[in-house]
Structure 1
Amino acid sequence: MSFTCIAIDDEPLALELVEEYVAAFPRLQLAHTFDDAISTAEFLRVNPVDILFVDINMPDITGIELIKSLDYKPAVIFTTAYKKFAFEGFEVEAVDYLLKPLNFDRFSRAVNKAITQIEQKRNNNNAKEENLFVRSEYRLIKINIQDIEFIESLEDYIKIHLTNEKPILTLMPLKTVLEKLPQDKFKRIHRSYVVALNKVRSVLNRKVLLLSSTELPVSDKYAGFVDEWKKG
């Protein structure tokens, strides 16, 4: 089993060192390197990865802000010259926090910890029934994930649209429900919509047509979802 990763650092020498260290791990596939967080964020919106090696102190937005902006949670290994950011790293549940100059043995331990965490998470996900539990009208409701067609954001609430059933309204941010769903089966296509990839019939002119004949908009920010849909 291999793991995709990217490295982000505005210091060229630090970035080269991370590339060199990553190359020593046959199970790691370095998908890209970046010297700014904004470009990284654009890449990650359409190219989810397993592990991020990310500097914290960068000129545009910080590594912490980058992680908080993501719609999913990769394994994060911070690389930084500053101890003062350790608490913020803990807050975003980083796997490890490496101080520069990077040491290979310490880097290796962080990578192995990240791989172990990812494998455990995958095993847990595979063991679970594909059900989503939400509260609606004071009741706890079990939803079979296979029945979800799309999810609509309504400010603080979401409406879960189901095949051949009434929609379910629950108090939950769209970002939170997306974290609970299989990342390979559901994709965000708009700030207000998440779709089940297997319920998409066609895509034309930035609009998605679902099997139920419902039509939804695709925003520029999430246009890359089409590549994920074609893979299925």
Structure 2
Amino acid sequence: MALKCVAIDDEPLALELIKNYVSRFPGLQLVQVFEDALSGAEYLKQNPVDLLFVDVNMPDISGVELVRSLVNSPMIIFTTAYRNYAFESYELQAVDYLLKPIDFNRFTAAVEKAVDFHKYKNATPENNSDESIYVYSEYKMIKILLRDIEYIESMGDYLKIYLSNTDKPVLTLMTMKKVLEKLPEDQFARVHRSFIVALTRIKSIHNRKVNLTNAELPIGDAYSGFINQQKGI
């Protein structure tokens, strides 16, 4: 089933470009376009859609204000000529943030991300063989395969997610509690107030330390029971 989309932009040429781009995707259905942000906001309150393309700078209300006003927000792709709104797109957990003039290849990448995220949100455990989580990093949503995670480190309000396939950790604004809700209990465990480890990455446990493929982490006093649970390693 095609994703229902709405586009809101006070520039007619920008709307025409989005209509042209969307028409190239059989998996998208553009149900309405609006040059008036207030009319678009009113429509969205009465008609649920899957994906919203919305300009940030508009005369009545900004795209950011519009999205904040929605009780049930669809997936969001912001469009704008200004880079300085990137943080707002991050705060509102937008799927992506496209700078005008919008390149078709860049538009395609944003749409594919939205389609992928929609499948992820609506997947059941039985048909979700590609286990993954989505996090927001560097002002965009990214997909992380669970099998690539080695460990996660808490840095105050942020997390560093260390992956086996890159030397650069993913930095995301998220709490340990929130990420644990996303992770399957049979694959990950908290071993310290600052660390979560992937159980398949554990090589050994010795002297209250857990040795992973590429790191050695302490086991906190409050998590000493983890040692007994892993005696089979």
> Structure 2 length as normaliser, TM-score?
0.53
Q: Distance in 1 between matches of 2:125 and 2:25?
A: 25
Q: How far apart in 2 are the matches of 1:124 and 1:82?
A: 38
- Matches for 1:44-55 after TM superposition, within 5 Å: 44-55=44-55
Task: Output aligned runs, 1:8-157, within 5 Å.
Answer: 8-124=8-124
C-alpha separation in 2, matches of 1:26 and 1:125? 27
Deviation at 1:119, TM superposition (A): 1.1
Q: 1:126 to 1:43 in 2, by over 3 A?
A: farther
1:73: how far off? 2.4
1: CA distance between counterparts of 2:86 and 2:36? 20
Unaligned runs of 5+ in 2: 128-233
Q: CA deviation at 1:124?
A: 4.9
For the residues of structure 2 that align with 1:114 and 1:70, how far apart are their CA atoms? 19
Computed over aligned residues only, the root mean square deviation of the Cα atoms, in angstroms, reads 1.6
Match of 2:193 in 1: none
SS of residue paired to 2:39: helix
Structure 2 CA distance, aligned partners of 1:57 and 1:21?
Answer: 21
Q: Which runs of 4+ in 1 moved over 6 A?
A: none
- Percent identical pairs in the alignment equals 57
1:48 and 1:126, CA in 2 relative to 1: closer, same or farther beyond 3 A? farther
Change (3 A) 1:124 1:87: farther
CA distance in 1, matches of 2:71, 2:112: 24
What TM-score results when the alignment is normalised by the length of structure 1?
A: 0.53
1:79 counterpart letter in structure 2: T
Q: Structure 2 CA distance, aligned partners of 1:87 and 1:102?
A: 19
Change (3 A) 1:61 1:123: same
Evaluate the alpha carbon distance shift between residue 4 and residue 126 of structure 1 in structure 2; reply closer, same or farther with a 3 A threshold.
farther
Q: Which runs of 5+ in 1 are unaligned?
A: 128-232
Shift of 1:65: 0.7
